[in-house]
Structure 1
């Protein structure tokens, strides 16, 4: 009888240890910090500039950071940030004419599918993006005699889909895709004359792969 009791206690202990060692994914009250590579790929459109062509804005990759707070086991809020993005601005047939930098903090509400015991947690999110353009500089002043470039800041909607894989109780790997509605009013001079203000829709896709820590 004592052997049976002892074996039962050992079995219960092993079962308890197995349950406690299982990775618990996101649950209410968790903070999640992710860091990785984030690429901004503009999908820009604009009116014809100076009778020649549209603006084009090149891609850029930086260090991405995001911070998530789990309101419940399924609902969360997330802030996306990054080191400053730097973009070349070009005109077809002319080439690079300018450079700009931007910071695009984005806040979204998220819904995570599955439950807190699921290692794989796909999610979706919707929210708002703010993009701050700064250090705008004409780099080819001889082309069309352009100068005095300025780009307005932008507010717009944002949406995302993503996937977390919980490696253990603290560490995870992540992949996510964002779409942001970014529109800026561009002002510049052609020679000494102010060119009419031009609205450029940048509307980038944003891709991020990262590792995360839950605490």
Structure 2
């Protein structure tokens, strides 16, 4: 019995340790909740400025490890929807957007570490759709309203930065927390009841917070 125990102990000592990765050649898939928190600002309109509320959707990332420390990642999500308010007026519009973002990343530590913090920088593309004004009396077509219509937001290209943390549960599964900052600027275009065209320079510059699980293969 003592000999058997000694053999088991020796085998455990000599056996290679389980790698928690991330290693060169690994693909990383993560899924979780993604919350967009805009830091909106705009040129003045009706003595006010545009603001947008937070929204949470399903976030997905697809990553590839080029080396044990360098990776690339694509962020995707289900469409975000925001209520747009105007200072002193209230909610005046709704808009949806998708912000696919491509990142180059540096992972700190070694491949066998359970905890892998990382930083990233890259490019964000944001496309807006389903833009529409609400029935707010101040901007609607009723008496005293401005009759605003034909709302359109220009798509945006901008810089993105990221910080994240993976906690490896085993050789395949991990927990993840990450945050992005995105430079999103757009031209908000619309018309009034007389057909006059307007363009309001607007920035969103949101933080995006994601918490979820990941799978490595």
Please give the TM-score of this superposition, normalised by the length of structure 1.
Answer: 0.92
More deviation, 93-102/109-118: 93-102
Selected match of 1:122 from 108, 117, 123: 117
Structure 1: how far apart are the matches of 2:110 and 2:126?
34
How many residue pairs align between the two structures? Answer: 209
Structure 2: how far apart are the matches of 1:134 and 1:80?
19
Structure 1: how far apart are the matches of 2:79 and 2:30?
17
Which residues of 2 match residues 172-183 of structure 1 at below 5 A? 172-183=174-185
Which residues of 2 match residues 1-215 of structure 1 at below 5 A? 9-17=7-15, 19-20=16-17, 22-49=18-45, 51-140=46-135, 141-142=140-141, 143-215=145-217
Contact 1:23 1:167 in 2 (8 A): no
Please give the TM-score of this superposition, normalised by the length of structure 2.
Answer: 0.91
Deviation at 1:203, TM superposition (A): 0.3
**Alignment RMSD, CA only?**
1.6
Deviations 1:187-215 (A, max 9, x none): 11122232431110110011000100000
Structure 1: how far apart are the matches of 2:77 and 2:119?
20
Structure 2: how far apart are the matches of 1:174 and 1:38?
12
SS in 2 for 1:197: strand
Contact 2:21 2:171 in 1 (8 A): yes
Contact 2:84 2:95 in 1 (8 A): yes
**Ranges in structure 2 where 5+ consecutive residues have no aligned partner:** none
Contact 2:33 2:58 in 1 (8 A): yes
Deviations 1:14-65 (A, max 9, x none): 2245x44x3422000000100000000000110111x320111111000000
Contact 2:150 2:190 in 1 (8 A): yes
Deviations 1:79-134 (A, max 9, x none): 00000000111112221111110000000000000000110000000000000000
